[in-house]
Amino acid sequence: MKIAIFDHQLNYGGGLRFITNLIISIKKKRPDYDLTFFCDKKKLINNNAFDIFLNHKIKIEQLKVFESTNERKSLFFSGVRYFKRNFLGIKEKPVDIYNALDLEIIACCKNFDLAYFPWPYFLKPPLIDCPKIATFHDFNFKYFFGTSIFSDSQIDFLNTSIKEWMKDTIPVVSSYFMKDELSKFYPETGKIEVIHLSSLNVYNNMPVNNQIEFPFPFLLDLPYITCPVHLTVHKNIGNLIAAASIVNEKEIKFRLVFTGQSTETIVGKSGFYGLVKGFNDDIDVYGLGYISDWNMNLLLRRSFAVLNGSLYEAGNGVGLDAWSLGIPVIQSNIPAFEEHLTLQGFKAFTFNPREVYSIARAIETCLNNNKQREENIQKSTAAFSNISWDNTADAYINIFEESLNKKSHGN
C-alpha cells in the first residue's frame, strides 16, 4: 500500500512526537507499506527528526510551497522586495498559502492509494480520489479561555474547512471526550474512530543509566515537578504558579519547572498574584525553554512528579510519558484526563484546575503522602503495560485497510 502522509505544520513538542511514534510503529508493523512523508524538510531537520525517519525507511518529500515561502523569508529576497516596493513602486501579491498547498497536495496524491493527515488544521480538504484519514487532536479554538488564541478569520477558516473535511474523510480522535466534542461541534460527522495513544517519549525504553550527565544540575538540590506547556491561557500557568506559592509559603519545598517554547522567561519566585521576578535566592519557578527530546527524557526521569493543569486537552500526553517511567502524575480533573483513570486504570493526584487551593492540596499530597505515591506508581505501571504504540499502529492500520477495501469495492 502506498500512503502519502502530509504534515504542513510540524508542531514543536507533542505534535511532532505523535507523528514520529505513529509512523515508525506503522512501518515496523507493516514493512511492506510504502510511506512517504510530505513536509517542510528544513523544519524536520531543525527538529532532529529527519534522520529518524530515514533510518526507518520512510521517504521524505519537500512540500514545494514551503521552499518558496522559506526563500521569501531570506534576507536577500527581503531586500529585493524592499527595493521593488520603495524604489520601483512594485508591490508583490502575497502568496495564498492555503490554495497553493491544496493544489500541491492534490498533485502529490495522484500516485498513492491513501492519504493521511496527522494535523488537518489550517488545511483545505483536498479533492482527491484516494481515501482520506485525518486525526483531529482538539477543538480549543471553539472556546474563549480569557484571551484570544486565534483571530476571527482563522476561526472562520477552521470552522469552514473542518465541516468540509467531515464530508468525505474518516476522522480519528484520541479520546472519547474528543469524540463527543467533534460530534457536538460538527453534528453532520459520520463514524468517528477513537484510538488512544501511548507515551510520546521516543526514549521510553532506554535503560536507566545514572552515569549520563544531567543537563540541569541546578535543579537537583530540591524536589522538582515538571510541567511542559505552551504559553497559552488554557494551560493554566498562572494558577499553577499561585498554587506553588501556597505550598512554598513558609519554605521552598519543591521547584516548579516549566518547559516549552519561550518558557525561559518564566523564572522567579512564585506569588499568589503571579510570578515575582528579580529574586536570586528564593527562586522556586524555572522555565527551561524548548528542550530536546533527549533532555526532556532526562528531566522527566529525575522529576519528583509531573504536573498538567490544563483546562482543555485531548488527553494527558506528558502524563503518559510520566506513567511509563514510574513518575507520579498530578493532573486537572478535566474529562479527557479522567478518561486515563477510569478507562485505562492509571492513578493520579487530581484537582479542580479553576481552584488554586485545590491544586495546592494535590501538590502537597504528592509531596507528603509516600504511601499514596507508591500505590499510584505501582498501579500506573501496571496500567501502562496494557497500552503501546503497537496497539495504536494496529488500530490505524485497520482503518487504512478498511478504507482501501471499501474504495476498491466502490463503497
Question: Which pLDDT score, from 0 to 100, does residue 89 have?
Answer: 52
How far is Cα 132 from Cα 193, in angstroms, rounded to an integer?
13
* 3-state SS class at 349: strand
User: CA angle, 69 as apex, 68 and 74 as ends, to 5°?
Assistant: 95
Q: What's the CA gap between 3 and 36, in Å, rounded?
A: 6
CB 28 within 8 A of CB 388: no
2-198+389-408 shares its CATH topology with 217-384: yes
Strand partners, 275: none
Look at the block and give the residue holding cell 520603495.
Answer: 86
- Cell for 273? 498574584
Domain boundaries, the chain: 2-198+389-408, 217-384
Q: What is the pLDDT of residue 87?
A: 55
Neighbouring-strand partners of residue 35: 3
Residue with cell 517519549: 201
**Distance, CA of 261 to CA of 235 (rounded, Å):** 13
Identify the bridge partners of residue 61 per DSSP, sorted by sequence position: 38
Q: How many Cβ atoms are within 10 Å of 124's Cβ, its own excluded? A: 18
Give Cα separations from 316 to 30, 135, 180, 278 (angstroms). 28, 16, 17, 33
CATH architecture group of domain 217-384: 3-Layer(aba) Sandwich (3.40)
> What are the residue ranges in the chain where pLDDT is below 70?
68-95, 208-210, 279, 409-411
- Residue 98 has a pLDDT of 85
Cell output for 113: 492509494
For domain 2-198+389-408, give the CATH number: 3.40.50.2000
Q: Convert the pLDDT of each residue in 206-238 to its tens digit.
A: 776 667 889 999 999 999 999 999 999 999 999
What's the pLDDT score for residue 47?
81
CA–CA distance, 219 with 256 (Å, rounded to integer): 10
Within 10 Å of residue 34's Cβ, how many Cβ atoms?
Answer: 15
CA 75 to chain centre: 31
Q: How far separated are the first and last CA of the chain, in Å rounded?
A: 19
- CA proximity to 340, closest of 306, 294, 295, 291: 306
Residue 148 confidence (pLDDT): 87
